[in-house]
């Protein structure tokens, strides 16, 4: 009994001391903390070369914004943030997907995140109108047919259900992620590097959530095909590696151990290279993949008229033959 009383007495005593500490006037013994970062006064915020790299990323951000907004809500940038579309043509074939509650909430959040990304890239380095995007079910079906090397019957429909939609989304933020990693060494301004870090973090997070959703269902068959979710991810990644034409830069959610973390795991929730670093891709590799043609000079796939911005535009003109 006495112990209990003295314990609560002690607690009250310490609480009193603690709360009295809180009453030390701010600024006397507790100056406001510095919240950085503080850049050297002569540091350059944005270098001219940074602009074209970050503008290149707008192609992918437009693709993600429209795909996710439409998938979750049934409408896109023209309803949510019309000024960001800058009068570009509406996406072809985008529509609301038949999503379960979890997938809907995730994809809605991702869609709004892409709106922020578009806004901040444009306010930092400027931009261009939304390019024509092909988000039609038949475009996704063609990609899946390519991934498996034969026609899937019935044609793959990304909008049919949550697993199909997440499989089709597996196609998208990952390309942004590898693009940002690949771009990183070419940026020099502190503001553009800070922006890239912020974009990369969220793209990676989106990719991780999508991969986790698929990993949890990796052994389920994707109805009505005789392929598991894991097999779909493996085939999609192989297709992208083939289109990128620069070796293995991604893997499915289940791998042989020689592709797992430290060569020891068959789970591959995060796709990474040796020492578990994220893979990087150049703009040319990215275009080969999103065009679906394996050729950065030949548009198609998600961007039927090609990407915009100086980098993609210049690549649309084939180099002279030597
Ligand atoms: C489905 O695939 C499995 C393994 O790949 C195979 O053993 C099985 O025979 C296939 N079933 C049908 C109906 O094609
Ligand atoms: C994993 O295997 C690759 C060859 O497949 C090798 O180059 C690499 O050093 C290995 N990594 C570790 C951590 O053992």
Half-sphere exposure of 294 (CA within 13 A, CB side): 11
Phi, psi of 151 (to 5 degrees): -75, 130
Q: Is residue 282 part of a domain?
A: yes
Q: Looking at the predicted structure, is the pLDDT value of residue 38 above 90? A: no
Q: Is residue 35 part of a domain?
A: no
**Global confidence as pTM:** 0.88
Q: Is residue 6 part of a domain?
A: no
Q: Is residue 10 part of a domain?
A: no
Instruction: Give the domain extent around 138.
Output: 48-316
Confidence of residue 27 (pLDDT cuts 50, 70, 90): low
Q: Looking at the predicted structure, is the pLDDT value of residue 13 above 70? A: no
- For residue 207, what pLDDT is reported? 96
Is residue 68 a contact partner of residue 176, using CB atoms and an 8 Å limit?
A: no
Q: Is residue 12 part of a domain?
A: no
Half-sphere exposure of 22 (CA within 13 A, CB side): 5
Q: Best of 274, 276, 277 to mutate for ligand 2, by most ligand atoms within 8 A of CB? A: 274
**Ligand 2 mean position, distance from CA 277 (Å):** 13
Q: Is residue 38 part of a domain?
A: no
Q: Is 182 exposed, middle or buried (0-12, 13-18, 19+ CB in 10 A)?
A: buried
The count of domains in the chain is 1
- Choose the weakest-confidence range: 18-22, 135-139, 183-187, 287-291: 18-22
Q: Is residue 152 part of a domain?
A: yes
- For residue 173, what pLDDT is reported? 85
Confidence of residue 1 (pLDDT cuts 50, 70, 90): very low
Q: Is the CB of 265 within 6 Å of ligand 2? A: no
Q: Is residue 25 part of a domain?
A: no
Could you report the per-residue pLDDT of 143-174, keeping only the tens digit for each? Answer: 999 999 999 999 999 999 999 999 999 988 89
* Tokens of residue 122, six digits: 């444009």
- For residue 274, what pLDDT is reported? 93
- For residue 19, what pLDDT is reported? 52
């Amino acid at each position: 009994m006495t112990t209990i009383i003295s314990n609560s007495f002690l607690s009250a005593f310490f609480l009193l001391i603690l709360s009295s500490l809180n009453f030390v006037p701010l600024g006397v013994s507790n100056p406001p903390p510095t919240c950085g970062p503080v850049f050297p006064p002569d540091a350059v915020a944005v270098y001219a070369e940074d602009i074209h790299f970050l503008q290149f990323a707008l192609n992918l951000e437009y693709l993600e914004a429209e795909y996710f907004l439409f998938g979750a809500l049934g409408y896109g940038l023209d309803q949510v943030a019309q000024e960001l579309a800058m009068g570009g043509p509406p996406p072809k074939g985008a529509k609301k997907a038949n999503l379960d509650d979890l997938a809907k909430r995730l994809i809605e959040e991702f869609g709004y995140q892409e709106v922020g990304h578009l806004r901040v890239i444009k306010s930092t380095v400027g931009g261009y109108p939304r390019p024509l995007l092909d988000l039609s079910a038949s475009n996704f079906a063609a990609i899946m047919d390519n991934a498996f090397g034969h026609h899937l019957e019935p044609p793959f429909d990304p909008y049919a259900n949550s697993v199909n939609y997440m499989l089709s989304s597996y196609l998208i933020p990952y390309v942004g992620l590898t693009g940002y990693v690949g771009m990183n060494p070419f940026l020099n301004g502190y503001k553009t590097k800070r922006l890239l870090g912020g974009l990369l973090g969220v793209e990676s997070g989106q990719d991780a959530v999508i991969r986790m959703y698929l990993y949890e269902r990796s052994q389920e068959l994707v109805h009505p095909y005789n392929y598991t979710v894991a097999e779909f991810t493996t085939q999609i990644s192989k297709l992208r590696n083939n289109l990128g034409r620069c070796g293995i830069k991604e893997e499915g959610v289940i791998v042989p151990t020689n592709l797992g973390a430290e060569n020891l795991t068959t789970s591959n929730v995060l796709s990474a290279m040796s020492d578990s670093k994220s893979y990087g891709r150049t703009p040319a590799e990215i275009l080969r993949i999103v065009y679906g043609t394996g050729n950065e000079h030949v548009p198609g796939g998600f961007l039927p008229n090609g990407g915009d911005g100086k980098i993609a535009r210049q690549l649309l003109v084939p180099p002279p033959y030597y």
